């Protein structure tokens, strides 16, 4: 595994495991919890130690139960979760209550990376929410703090009104929407980029090109995409309900793309 050092010195595995449908009936995002941790168990067996969860997914306990069941030390894992701000901000008391619920569901007394999941149309509230995250960070409950789905103007708001620079901005970056401009801006501010759903957006034409590239290395089109992302210092969190495909997503450290291949991928 390759690690990236965040702006506070914390190291994060550059490949993590998405979890938004894990433990749910029919593997559906809106499905009820099945009561098992099968996908997390497989991921841990495959070597994943970085798990990306969120309050919005309504399954943080699946990650928590799977990690506890593994009997591996908590410090071997890097856990991300996110404050659910898709309907805005419910105030300080609400935020504290939601954070405590996350800690309880994940069965941990600290979270490696805690994010604001989405910006909303109230600058004062966003600054207030960030200040709450800073407090948890300063107390050691959060080892790193960051944001998700933030654009330049949202990042600027926090940078101008806070004492701690976000460690991470988790954004859309995938075939057809590499989001280079925002990634470059993140880098300029020493904010690491995490790509959510990094294997989406691949149409038939793109898949054919990626397979042609992959054949040169004995790799799948998915492995080529993930390799492209990590070569541009983007952290990826692929997700699969298949144990073998989970393993494939980790098998991307034994080859390197040529400059020509990177250019072909960038053009997709």
Catalytic residue among 57, 136, 137, 228: 57
Query: 51 CB contacts (<8 Å, ≥6 apart)?
Result: 16, 17, 19, 40, 43, 63, 67, 77, 78, 79, 80
Averaged pLDDT for residues 124-141: 98
Q: How far apart are CA 148 and CA 162, in angstroms?
A: 17
- Domains observed in the chain: 3-201+234-242 (3.20.20.100)
Q: How far apart are CA 90 and CA 9, in angstroms?
A: 31
**How is residue 197 annotated by DSSP?**
S
Bridging pattern class, strands 11-13 and 3-5? antiparallel
Share of the chain above pLDDT 70, in %: 100
Q: Give the largest Cα separation in the chain, rounded.
A: 55
Q: Provide the pLDDT confidence category of residue 207 given band limits of 50, 70 and 90.
A: very high
β-sheet bridge partners, residue 196: 172
* pLDDT (tens digit per residue) in 57-111: 999 999 999 999 999 999 999 999 999 999 999 999 999 999 999 999 999 999 9
Q: Provide the pLDDT confidence category of residue 143 given band limits of 50, 70 and 90.
A: very high
Q: Clarify whether 217 is annotated catalytic.
A: no
Count, residues in the chain: 268
Please give the full DSSP string across 99-131, using - where no structure is assigned: HHHHHHHHT-S-BSEEEE----S-HHHHHHHHH
Handedness of CA 8, 12, 17, 23 (dihedral sign): negative
**How is residue 174 annotated by DSSP?**
B
Q: What is the pLDDT of residue 173?
A: 98
pTM score, two decimals?
A: 0.98
């Amino acid at each position: 595994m390759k690690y990236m050092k965040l702006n506070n010195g914390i190291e994060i595995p550059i490949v993590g495991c998405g979890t938004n449908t894990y433990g749910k009936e029919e593997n559906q995002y809106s499905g009820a919890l099945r009561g098992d941790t099968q996908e997390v168990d497989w991921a841990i067996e495959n070597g994943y130690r970085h798990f990306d969860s969120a309050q919005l997914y309504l399954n943080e306990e699946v990650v928590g139960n799977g990690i506890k069941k593994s009997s591996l030390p908590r410090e071997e894992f890097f856990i991300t979760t996110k404050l659910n701000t898709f309907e805005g901000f419910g105030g300080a008391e609400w935020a504290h209550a939601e954070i405590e619920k996350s800690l309880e569901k994940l069965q941990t007394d600290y979270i490696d990376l805690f994010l604001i999941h989405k910006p909303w149309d109230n600058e004062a509230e966003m600054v207030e929410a960030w200040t709450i995250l800073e407090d948890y960070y300063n107390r050691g409950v959060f080892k790193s703090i960051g944001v998700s789905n933030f654009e330049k103007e949202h990042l600027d708001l926090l940078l101008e009104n806070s004492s701690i620079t976000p460690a991470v901005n988790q954004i859309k970056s995938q075939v057809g929407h590499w989001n280079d401009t925002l990634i470059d801006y993140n880098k300029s501010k020493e904010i690491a980029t995490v790509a959510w759903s990094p294997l989406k957006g691949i149409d038939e034409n793109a898949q054919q090109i990626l397979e042609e590239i992959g054949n040169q290395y004995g790799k799948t089109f998915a492995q080529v995409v993930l390799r492209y992302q990590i070569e541009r210092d983007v952290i990826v969190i692929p997700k699969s309900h298949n144990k073998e495909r989970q393993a494939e997503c980790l098998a991307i450290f034994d080859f390197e793309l040529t400059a020509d291949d990177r250019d072909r991928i960038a053009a997709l």
